[in-house]
A and B are shown apart, each in its own frame.
Chain A
């Protein structure tokens, strides 16, 4: 398995533009997580899906952020409009099962810079 695949790896955009980050989880994994990592705030959980259904989106910062999981093999995180404070590394992770004992497999991350 190629692991969790994220794209793009790097994105530089201007304030106000729409940004879409993509994630392909490991085949057979039924839980998917989006995290944001910054120096100031560390790793923050944005949203968690189980069986393609959003279970916890309390970490989504505001209405500018939205996430979808139309099927078991694909998820998107969209920021519209983007702002400089959204600059961060965004990680997608997947796991098999919905218990806390399950290991998360992380993608390599998408580094977003908003000018």
Chain B
């Protein structure tokens, strides 16, 4: 069984300051982990993914995430927030070898203040 918990439903930062969106997961299998972003009235778009290679994963738009097995975490970070980063972010866990049990987190809404 798998589950994912996004620890904050809403995060607010000022433009130019760091972003941290927290995600913890539980998996009975070797997991694949993803972060997707959803801008208002749009579909979800992949930011980055972890499968089995480097534990520090770099994604689009300056985002990165680190897979920490000991902490069962996959937190998303960005050094400097931009206004265009305001969106909903979803952490996703999936068994690495099949699509049958992919789980989405509840989402974290990121607000960026000028």
Please give the residue numbers on chain A whose beta carbons come within 8 Å of chain B beta carbons, in ascending order. 4, 31, 33, 42-43, 45, 48, 50, 55-56, 91, 93, 95, 98-109
Contact = CB atoms under 8 A, between A and B. Distances in A.
Interface of B, secondary structure class, is loop
Contact of A42 (B36, B95, B102, B106): B106
B43 A101 contact: no
Nearest to B104: A43
Contact of B99 (A4, A98, A108): A98
Given A50-B99, A100-B99, A108-B43, 11 more contacts: A4-B43, A56-B100, A93-B44, A95-B99, A99-B32, A99-B96, A99-B99, A101-B51, A105-B46, A108-B41, A109-B42
Contacts of A100: 29, 31-32, 94-99, 101-102
A41 B107 CA distance: 11
B90 interface: yes
Nearest to A106: B43
Interface residues of B, number: 27
B33 to A, nearest CB: 10
Contacts of B26: none
B46 A99 contact: no
Interface string B10-34: 0000000000000000000101101
A105 B99 CA distance: 14
A109 B88 CA distance: 15
Contacts of B46: 103-105
Contact of A99 (B43, B97, B107): B97
B78 interface: no
Nearest to A105: B46
Contacts of A99: 32, 96-99
Greatest chain A CB density within 10 A among B94, B99, B100, B102 is at B99
Contact of A103 (B34, B41, B100, B105): B34
